[in-house]
Amino acid sequence: MKKFQSVLHYLKLYIKSFQFVCGSSGKLTAALLLLIPVQALLPTVTLYLTNRIISQVQSGHPNRLSLLLAVWGIAFVAGNLASPMVTFVQGQLTDRLTYRLNFSIMEQSEKLQTIDHYEDSGFRDQLSLLSSESSWRPVNLLVFGSSLMMNVVSLVSMFVLLCSFQPVIAALLFTALIPQGVLSYKIQQQAFETLVSNSEDSRKLAYYSGTLLSAEHIKEVRLYHLYGFFQNKYRSAYRRIHASVQKGRIRQWIFASVFLILTGAVSVLGFCQITYAVCGHRLDIGTILVYTSAIVYTIQGISRFVEDSSLLYDTLLYMSDLFAYLAIENTAGFNGTKEWTDFGEMKVENLSFRYPQGEKQVLDKVSFSVKKGEKIAIVGENGAGKSTLVKLILRLYRQSGGTVKFDGVCFEEFDIESYRKQFCAVFQDFSRFDLTVRENVTLSEVCTQKTDEDVLAALRQSGFAEGAGGEISCGQMLGKRFGDSRELSGGQWQKLALARAFYMDADILILDEPTAALDPGTEFLVFGKFMELSKDKTVLFVTHRMASVVNADKVLFLGAGRVLGFDTHEALLGTNERYREICRMQASMYQDIQNPKKNGSKV
C-alpha cells in the first residue's frame, strides 16, 4: 500500500510539474507533446515496414514493394528530422521554464515580508538548494520528462510488435521492468533525501573551499597557514556525504546487474525460439532482424526508462521543494490597507519579541514615544535588543506582543509598501551591491526622476566625495565581481551607504550603527552633518559610542530587552547610575588613549 501511495505521489508531482511547465509556454508544450509520440513511434513503424519489405522480397511477388519502400523512406527521414526538432523545442521551452522558475523564486522572496525565515537553518538549506540548482533542474525536468514519455510510447509499441512473434517472451521482458523500476525509484529517493539531509554539510563544503579561495580571508589564511585546517574540515564533510550516498549507489548497481542478467537470459531464449521457428518455415526470415532490433530497442528502452524515471524523480523532489517554498504564507499581520499620512507622534507600546524557536524574550514590553522631528539615540550593551527594536519598527520582524502607533493608528493597519516608503535605514551590516556608484545610491528611491547632481550632492553630504572618493564617477562599477570594477575601503562603503539615506526623502531615518567602520572624528562630523540635514525629520540611531548621543534630543537606554531609561543625555547622567557608569568608562578609555603617560597606561 505504501509503495502504491509513493507511486501515486510521484504521478501527482509529475502532473503538477507538467502544469508548471505549461505555464511557461502553452504553445511550446503542445508542440513538444505532438512531437514526442511521433518520434517514439517511428522506430517501431520502421521495423514493421522492414519486416514487410523483406517478406515481399522473399515471396518473389513484390507487388507492393514500391509503396512499402516509399513509406519506409518517409518514416526514416521523419525519424531523422524529429530528433533535432524535439531538441529545438526543448531548448526553447527550457529557456522559458528556467526564467519562470527563477523569477518565481525571486517573487516569493519578495512576498515574505519578515526576515526571520532567513535566520532559520532549515529554510536556508531549502533556499540554498533551490537557488544553486535553479539553472539546471529545468533542463532535467524537460529532458528526462520528455524522454520518459517517449520511452513509454516506444516500449508500448515494441511490446505490441514483440507480441506478434513471441507473446510470452514479451511478457517476461516487461515483467522485469516493474521491480527494477520500483527499486531504482526507491534508491534514487533515498539518495536525494540523503543529499538534502546533508545539505548543511554541502554548504560547509562550499564555505571551506570558498574561504581558502576568497580575497576576504586570504590575509588570515596566509598568516596562520589555515590551508591544512580547512582542507581537513572539507575532507571530513566530504566523507560524511560520500559515505551516505555511496551505499545507495552500490545497491542500485547490484539490483541493476541482477535484472539486466535476467532480461538478457529472456532475450537469448526468445532469439533461439525465433531462429528455430524460421528454420521450420513457421516465420519469415525477416522476423529475425525485426526481433533482434526490437529486443535491442526494448532493453535499451527499459534501461533508459528506469534511469530516466529515477533521475526524473530526483528532479521532481526538487520541484516538490519548490512548490513547498512557493506555498509559504507570510502575509498574516501584513494585510493593512490604510495609506500613510503625516504623523505627529510615534508611540511604541509594550513591544515584545522572541525568535520562533527561542524561549528568551529579546525585547520585553518596550514602551516609549517620539514626537515628529525628534532625534532619538538608542544605546545599551551588546544583546540589549537595539537592532531588534529598529527591525520591529521597520516590520522586518513580526512582534510577539505590543504594537507601534502613529497618531493612534497601529502600524499593522497601514499598507506595508506605503508604510516602509516612509523609512530610510542604514544598517551596520549594510549591503555592498556590485553595481555602479549611481545605482548604489539611488537604490533607496529608484522610481524618482532625480539627476546625477542629486547623487553627487548625497555623496558630498555623506563625506564619500572627499579624498579618493572624489575621483570616482557615478558610472563606476563597484566591487570585485565584474570587469572594470573598483573595490572600496570599508569606510568608503559605509559612506556610500549613508549617501543612500541622504538621497532618499523619507519621513523617518534609522541608523543602526552605520558609522562603526569610521574613526571617531569622522563619525562625529558625519553625525553632525546628518543631524543638520535631517533637522525636520525623525531620526532613530543606534550607537555604541556615547559621544554621539550629544546630537540626540533624547536617549533610549536598553538593557536585556527592557527600557532602563528614556530621557535627555544630561537627565540620564544625573538620574541613571548604570548609564552614568557606561559613559564614564568610555570617557576614561579615550582619556587613556589620549594621555597614556599621564594615566600610566601603555599603548
Q: What is the mean pLDDT of residues 284-294?
A: 83
DSSP-derived pairing of the beta strands 345-353 and 363-371: antiparallel
Average pLDDT over residues 390-407: 92
410 grid coordinates? 497601529
Q: What is the pLDDT of residue 305?
A: 79
Query: C-alpha cell of 600?
Result: 600610566
Q: Which domains are present in the chain?
A: 11-326 (1.20.1560.10), 342-422+512-583 (3.40.50.300), 431-505 (no CATH)
The whole-angstrom separation of Cα 172 and Cα 162 is 11
Among 25-34, 94-103, 427-436, where is mean pLDDT lowest? 427-436
For residue 411, what is the DSSP state?
A: G
Tally DSSP H helices, then E strands, for the chain: 19, 12
C-alpha cell at 58: 522473399
pLDDT in tens, 539-563: 998 988 777 788 789 999 999 899 9
pLDDT digits (tens, 9 = 90+) for 590-602: 555 444 444 444 3
Closest CA to 290 of 129, 54, 578: 54
Q: Report pLDDT for 314.
A: 79
Range in 288-297, 305-314, 454-463 with the lowest mean pLDDT: 305-314
> pLDDT higher for 76 or 10?
76
For residue 51, give every residue at least 6 positions away whose Cβ sits within 8 Å of its Cβ, in sequence order, or none: 284, 286, 287, 289, 290
Contacts of 389 (CB under 8 A, 6+ apart): 348, 351, 363, 366, 378, 558
pLDDT at 432 over 90: no
Q: For 292-304, what is the mean pLDDT?
A: 79
pLDDT digits (tens, 9 = 90+) for 575-593: 999 999 988 887 776 555 4
At residue 602, the pLDDT reads 39
| SS3 of 39-69 | HHHHHHHHHHHHHHHHHHHHHCCCCCHHHHH
Q: For all residues of the chain together, what is the average pLDDT?
A: 82
Which residues have CB under 8 Å from 532's CB, separation 6+? none
Helix, strand and coil percent figures for the chain, each rounded to 5? 65, 10, 25
